[in-house]
Every structure is written in structure tokens, then in C-alpha cells.
Amino acid sequence: MEASVCIEQQGTVEEIINHTIRVRIHREAACGHCSAGSMCNLFEASERIIETEDNGLALKAGDQVEVTISRTLGNKAVFLGYLLPFLLLMTVLIVSNALGLKEWLSGILSLSILVPYYVFLYLFRNRLRRSFSFTIRKKV
């Protein structure tokens, strides 16, 4: 895939179980290359583990791989994880204030609307997992 239509990360194969490959991705913060990065502890490097289907590559634990996801799926993940919950929260807050509810009640109501949203995401996690497919290829 072209770099303009996909997001690539470097990773290490952790394990392969029942045609599912677990890959550990080491991500550094965007400010990791800043000259003041050693003094700033706001953002730290983090590691993520992703799972993908075995696509017939002869991989084993410890192999270095490139993990790719399309940019549109990355944007969809940002929308579902950050933008939509923010829009729900702000909509409920503005509507409840417009209806004349007390501020503290509006705040609690707007925060509580996120509970069913994240429960919904949790219940449909398997369907979402199928739609967010990662492609891996062995590094040479």
C-alpha cells in the first residue's frame, strides 16, 4: 500500500495461536525526538498489542514485521473512540442546560450518557474487530 493511504508501524511478533498473530507495536510520542523530550514527562512511549489473522506468512515469535492499516480505518477508529463520544457529551450538556436543568445535573447527565455508548462499543467489539483489519508483512 502507498504511504498516503495507509498507516504503518514496526512491530515484533509476540505469539501465534490458532491462526491469530499477536504483534507488539512500540510507539513513541510525537515529541520523542524533541531536544527537551528528556525533561518532559507529559507524553511517554507506549506499547500496544494488536491481533490479526495469519495470512500464510511463515512467521514465528520474535520476527520483526510491518503492521499496516488503511488511513480510513484509522480515521474511523478516531471518530468512534474520541469524536463521537465528545459530540454526545457536548450535545447532552447543551440540551440539558437549554432545558433549564441545574448545571451539576447537566454535567452528571452528560457524563452518564457515555456509559451506554461505551457499553455498546464493548458489546459490538467482535464486529468492530472484524472491520478493523491489520495487514502484516515480514521485514527483510
For residues 23 and 65, the answer to whether their CB atoms sit within 8 Å is yes
Q: What is the Cα–Cα distance from 13 to 114, expressed in whole angstroms? A: 34
Residue 103: its pLDDT value, please? Answer: 93
Kindly report, residue by residue over 98-135, the tens digit of the pLDDT: 999 999 999 999 999 999 999 999 999 888 877 777 77
Q: Which residue has the higher pLDDT, 34 or 123?
A: 123
Kindly report, residue by residue over 67-98, the tens digit of the pLDDT: 877 778 878 888 998 999 999 999 999 999 99
Mean pLDDT for the chain? 80
Upper half-sphere CA count for residue 32 (Cβ side, 13 Å): 8
Q: What is the DSSP string of 10-23?
A: EEEEEEEETTEEEE
